[in-house]
Amino acid sequence: MITAQKLTKRYGNQIVLNLERLEIPKGQSFGLVGNNGAGKTTFFSLILDLISPTTGYIINNDVRVDTSEAWKPFTASFIDETFLIGYLTPEEYFYFIGELRNRNKADVDMLLSQFENFFHGEILGQNKYLRDLSKGNQKKAGIVASFIGDPEVVILDEPFANLDPTTQIRLKRIIKDLTDNREITVLISSHDLIHVTEVCERIVVLDKGEIVKDIQTSTETLQELEHFFAGE
């Protein structure tokens, strides 16, 4: 589904990402972990063509992302609140995304009805602009917006950050439901080793822009990751 080939990103003399080859098959729940500056957000930004690679390229479902926009209709993401439109209400934003994804209001409303527990009465019908919501509620809105239009690829950067424990638990269930049918490829980056090992079947560890571990998740994975980051 997604392949990175001889992919590097350099700022000045500093190489922030250096991937010889990385393949993520269709339907995989893929986790990316690493310390600050490891290259996680850089990799996601390259997949989304938000920045240009220094060398190499990324293929998304047979489409090279830096030379064609044909990947956009089946790829969705939420990286941070800059993806939102602050002067819109959540409803206006959801309908706007729906229009971009060729979904009418009824389609969007049907999708939103599935996330009432996740929204916890704090998103819809509040007569607030997105810019006035808390960071956690902005994240909820952005995550759910990424599900509009039945995407085949969903990319979420630090989705558990700023969420309360109840919402984190609900989000884990949502992610598991997404990947159960093996039709949706979900990429997640997170500093939370517990959450990422619970929802991802494969975890790649980045350190200074390079892959240092590529793990198929098992009951030992959390302990292995904890030992690695503890320097043991």
pLDDT profile of the chain (232 residues), mean per 10 = 96 94 95 93 96 97 95 95 94 97 96 93 93 95 96 96 92 89 89 94 95 94 92 74
pLDDT score recorded for residue 225: 94
Cβ atoms 21, 15 nearer than 8 A? no
- CA 112-76-33 angle, to 5 degrees, is 110
pLDDT score recorded for residue 9: 96
Q: Which CATH topology does 76-184 take?
A: Rossmann fold (3.40.50)
Neighbours of 178 (CB within 10 A): 17
pLDDT score recorded for residue 53: 97
Q: Where are the domains of the chain?
A: 76-184
pLDDT score recorded for residue 147: 95
In terms of pTM, does the model score above 0.85?
yes
Which own/partner pairs from 131-140 qualify as long-range (CB within 8 Å, at least 24 positions apart)?
A: 131/84, 131/86, 131/87, 133/90, 134/162, 135/81, 135/162, 136/162, 136/163, 136/164, 136/167, 138/81, 138/84, 139/78, 139/81, 139/163, 140/167
pLDDT score recorded for residue 231: 81
